[in-house]
Amino acid sequence: MIVEIGHYALALALGVSVIQAVVPFWGVFRQDRTLASVGSSAALVSFALVALSFAALVTSYVRSDFSVGNVVANSHSAQPLIYKFTSVWGNHEGSMLLWVLILTLFGALVALSRRSLPPRLRAGTLAVQGLVAVAFLAFTLLTSNPFQRLAPVPAEGQDLNPILQDLGLAIHPPLLYIGYVGFSITYAFAVAALIDGRIDAMWARAVRPWTLLAWTFLTLGIAMGSYWAYYELGWGGWWFWDPVENASFMPWLAGTALIHSTVVMEKRDALKVWTILLAILTFSLSLLGTFIVRSGVLTSVHSFATDPARGLFILLILIFFVGGSLALFAWRAPLLRQGGLFAPVSRESALVVNNVFLATACATVFVGTLYPLLLEMLTGDKISVGAPFYNATFVPVMVPLLLLLPIGQSLAWKRGDLLGAAQRNAVAFGLAVLAALALLFFTRGGPVLAPLGVGLGVFLVLGAGFDLAERIVTRASGWQAMLSRARGLPRSAWGTALAHAGIGLSIIGIAAQAWSTEAITVLKPGERLTSGRYTIVLEGMSPRTGPNFRAEVARFQLFAGDRELTPVEASKRVYTARAMPTTEAGIRTDGLSQAYVSLGEAQDGVVAVRLYDKPLILLIWIGSLVMALGGGLSLTDRRFRLAAPKRAAPAGAVQPAE
């Protein structure tokens, strides 16, 4: 019964979404306020229905209702409760339902937001969002129905892919989807503005919190996915330039550009047409990602069961939304009022430079991801594009951008002073160069580029810190004055500084991986293996039984030089339902570094062991967290707070520079 309710609610949500997509447009066309405001109610109802449907699927999973095909294929009665729960989105059908849930959630949030949106814009945005929901609800119902019943009910389920039986699955997809799908709102805003033919700073201010929200979650989602792959797959890497990783990275790059261009639009009423295009492209890249992941056209870690019908359906959705919005753009954009001019040396110009580089970087990833597909279609040759390609293309585009970042950040709006900005960053730059030189000296004979990378990271962190300090610390004023200045700084200024420092931290972590070391050997109990700063001694192997797996656990003593650290355990598991082996790496955190132990085959009392020394690797993810924190902090800025009371600014009050 619950299953049927879930299915029915989903079908009903499709109907309501059709109303949401059509009626507001009709209302705007007829100048009828009541009709135009139907979108809000429809968005709320649609979300409630999808939430009900999702709850029904969750219930079937938690109860291990094996009359549902989807539950049988991806769950097992012996699974711990948490994995029964997360199995819901550990498969194609269930994750589509999560996708749609988040899509309608964003629609409902727009409907609820008290911000004073122009009614036409709100109606248009909700209608476009409704249209996206129609497409994906139809896709889910027609090709990926998670509520399909099975005729003879099997006694036991086939279990979830063991690799997915991990807390990472609980966190990574929801975060990532909130990011991915969140960009649908900026897309909807852009298309609505194009239809309306009006766009101004008000539009930018309305869109910015949504962009920030989506970007923040996408940052967290990507970082979480990277850490999960790092500890779960036992290969010791954290990024593989896999097509599916790129599929989430491209919207991130475009979204990062979008965040910056909306600032220009909000402050200076410029870059309008470009911002609209960027908003469309960002969500288009999200859709492309969905297509790549779910159609199976590219071989990847993440591919779900491939079904040509699904691939074709998503391709049609992709063509409709990308093609439709770009056609609309080509038709309407020339009609938009031109934005203001700005001086070549100014904050706004620096942000344009940011956009040029980010868009180019995104294009290199795009080419690397899709070129193999194109080549195979044209010539039948199969190729793989991996890290060497991106190191030769993406990295050289990003480095100048990051070098310019602290300078751009300290330029003033309207008319900047390049020399002054350079001077303000001279100390940070000098210290960064010193750090790089010192590292080069102490690691003579090692990698040469890594110290420079660390230097770049240090420059970004110091640049962000000094920029903040500059605004807080003034000569001839006490600490109280500074404190009040610090408090007076807008949250978005803190957010900017944190996000930029976060990139710096991540870059230090990434660069430091050039010093990571790896050793492989076979060990008997009592034997030792050294890699970099770490040494392990195999104490012994012992069997262990989990709820739905058997494991062979190897226990190691761990030493960093002479210092003994907490022992570390690595294991091989065999999940009984699928008879599938997995490797559980043993990871010991030592400051910001990690010792990483992974097992190979065990036979005759010896076991193959791989030990990595991963210096400063945690900085990669800590940096991402700091970036996301920056995004979150900006989001709480007074300007964006949903339903924030407007603070009446006294006439002539000085706005702190941002």
Partner 1 sequence: MTIAQPTRPLPAKRRFTRKQRRLTLIAAAGAVLFVAAGLVLFAMRDTIVFFYGPTEIAEKGVLPGTRMRLGGLVETGSVQRGAGQRISFSVTDGKTSIKVGYDGLLPDLFREGQGVVTEGVFEGAGRFKADSVLAKHDETYMPREVADALKKQGHWQAGSSGSPAAAPAKP
Sheet containing 586-590, strands listed edge to edge, beginning at the edge strand earlier in sequence = 517-523, 606-614, 593-603, 586-590
Q: CA 59, CA 413: separation in Å to the nearest integer?
A: 54
Asked if 605 is part of the footprint of partner 1 (rule: CB under 8 A), the reply reads no
Which of these segments, 230-238, 437-445, 529-537, 559-567, binds partner 1 (CB under 8 A)? 230-238
- Residue 127's nearest CA partner among 23, 16, 277 is 23
The least CB distance from residue 343 to partner 1, in Å, is 9
Tokens found for residue 453: 């990378």
Q: Which residue has tokens 């194609």?
A: 92
Which residues face 544 on adjacent strands? 551
Considering the rule CB under 8 A, would residue 145 count as an interface residue with partner 1? no
Least distance between partner 1 and beta carbon 51 (Å): 27
**382 vs 475, which CB is nearer to partner 1?**
382
Contact flag: residue 382 with partner 1 (CB under 8 A): yes
Candidates 105-113, 233-241, 441-449, 488-496: pick the segment binding partner 1 (CB under 8 A).
233-241
Q: Which of the 8 DSSP states describes residue 450?
A: H
For partner 1, give the closer residue by CB, 150 or 363. Answer: 363
Select the residue interacting with partner 1 from 334, 377, 378, 384 (CB under 8 A). Answer: 384
Which residues inside 64-93 make contact with partner 1, applying CB under 8 A?
91
CA dihedral over 372, 374, 376, 378, signed as positive or negative: negative
Closest approach, Cβ 608 to partner 1, in A, equals 6
371 in contact with partner 1 (CB under 8 A): yes
Interface positions, 411-430, toward partner 1 (CB under 8 A): 412-413, 415
* Segment interacting with partner 1, rule: CB under 8 A, options 12-20, 228-236, 524-532, 563-571: 228-236
According to DSSP, residue 68 is labeled B
Question: Which of 195, 263, 385, 512 touches partner 1 by CB under 8 A?
Answer: 385
Residues sharing a CB contact under 8 Å with residue 32, sequence separation 6 or more, in sequence order: 26
477 binds partner 1 (CB under 8 A): no
Contact range with partner 1 by CB under 8 A, out of 31-39, 64-72, 231-239, 561-569: 231-239
Name the DSSP letter for residue 542.
Answer: E
Q: Give the sheet arrangement for strand 534-545, strand by strand.
A: 528-531, 534-545, 549-560, 563-575, 580-584
Decide if residue 320 touches partner 1 (CB under 8 A).
no
Choosing from 144, 409, 425, 598, the residue that interacts with partner 1 (CB under 8 A) is: 598
User: Cα–Cα distance between 638 and 492 in angstroms, integer?
Assistant: 9
Closest CA to 241 of 371, 342, 52, 108: 371
Residues 250-309 that bind partner 1 (CB under 8 A): 296, 299-306
Shortest gap between Cβ of 513 and partner 1 (angstroms)? 12
Among 521, 530, 557, 636, binds partner 1 (CB under 8 A): 521
236 binds partner 1 per the rule CB under 8 A: yes
> Residue 653 interacts with partner 1 (CB under 8 A)?
no
Q: Answer whether 269's CB lies under 8 Å from 201's CB.
A: yes
Q: Phi and psi dihedrals of 477, rounded to 5? A: -145, 145
The closest of 437, 424, 435, 433 to 464, measured between CA atoms, is: 424
Are 234 and 583 in contact by the 8 Å Cβ rule? The answer is: yes
When asked if residue 161 is in the footprint of partner 1 (CB under 8 A), the reply is yes
Which is nearer to partner 1, 129 or 261 (by Cβ)? Answer: 261
Give CA–CA dist 559/588, Å, rounded: 11
Residues 564-583 that bind partner 1 (CB under 8 A): 572, 578-583
The stretch near partner 1 (CB under 8 A) out of 32-40, 216-224, 410-418, 435-443 is 410-418
Please pick, from the candidates 383, 418, 437, 438, the single residue that binds partner 1 as defined by CB under 8 A: 383
Interface region with partner 1, contact rule CB under 8 A, candidates 208-216, 384-392, 440-448, 497-505 = 384-392
Q: Using CB under 8 A as the criterion, what x/- string covers residues 90-109 for binding partner 1?
A: -x------------------
Which token pair is 149? 């019943």
* CA-angle at 390, arms to 386 and 395, nearest 5°: 155
Query: What's the CA gap between 586 and 234, in Å, rounded?
Result: 9
Is residue 520 near partner 1 by the rule CB under 8 A? yes
Exposure pattern of 540-554 as b/e (b: 16+ CB <10 Å)?
A: ebeeeeeebbebbbb
- Using CA atoms, how far residue 249 sits from 222, 353, 369, in Å, is 8, 20, 11
Work out whether the CA dihedral 127, 131, 136, 142 comes out positive or negative.
Answer: positive
Among 79, 364, 369, 594, binds partner 1 (CB under 8 A): 364
Which residue among 381, 476, 647, 651 contacts partner 1 (CB under 8 A)? 381
Smallest distance, partner 1 to C-beta of residue 472, A: 14
- Does 388 help bind partner 1 (rule: CB under 8 A)? yes
Site map (CB under 8 A) of partner 1, residues 432-471, x = contact: ----------------------------------------
What are the tokens at 290?
């969905």
User: Measured from the CB of residue 554, what is the shortest distance to partner 1 in angstroms?
Assistant: 13
**Burial zone of 29 (CB within 10 Å; 0-12 exposed, 13-18 middle, 19+ buried):** exposed
341, 378, 476, 648: which one binds partner 1 (CB under 8 A): 341
**Residue found under tokens 């990472």:** 168
Size of the site for partner 1 (CB under 8 A): 65
Closest CA to 592 of 510, 536, 533, 509: 509
350 binds partner 1 (CB under 8 A): no
For partner 1, which is the closer residue by CB, 1 or 419?
419
SS3 state at 593:
strand
- Please tell me whether residue 118 binds partner 1 under the rule CB under 8 A: no
If binding is defined by CB under 8 A, does position 550 make contact with partner 1?
no
Residue 242 touches partner 1, criterion: CB under 8 A: yes
On the CB side of 120, how many CA atoms lie within 13 Å of its CA?
15
Selected from 608, 625, 636, 639, the binder of partner 1 by CB under 8 A is: 608
CB of 192 to partner 1, least distance (A): 27
Considering the complex, state which of residue 1 and residue 579 has its C-beta at the smaller distance from partner 1: 579
Q: Evaluate whether 199 touches 333 at the Cβ level (below 8 Å).
A: no
Q: Give me the sign of the Cα torsion angle 527, 531, 532, 534.
A: negative
State the residues that interact with partner 1 by CB under 8 A.
91, 161, 163, 233-237, 240, 242, 296, 299-306, 341, 344, 352-353, 356-357, 360-361, 363-364, 367-368, 371, 381-386, 388-389, 391-393, 396-397, 412-413, 415, 520-522, 572, 578-583, 598, 600-601, 608, 610, 654, 657
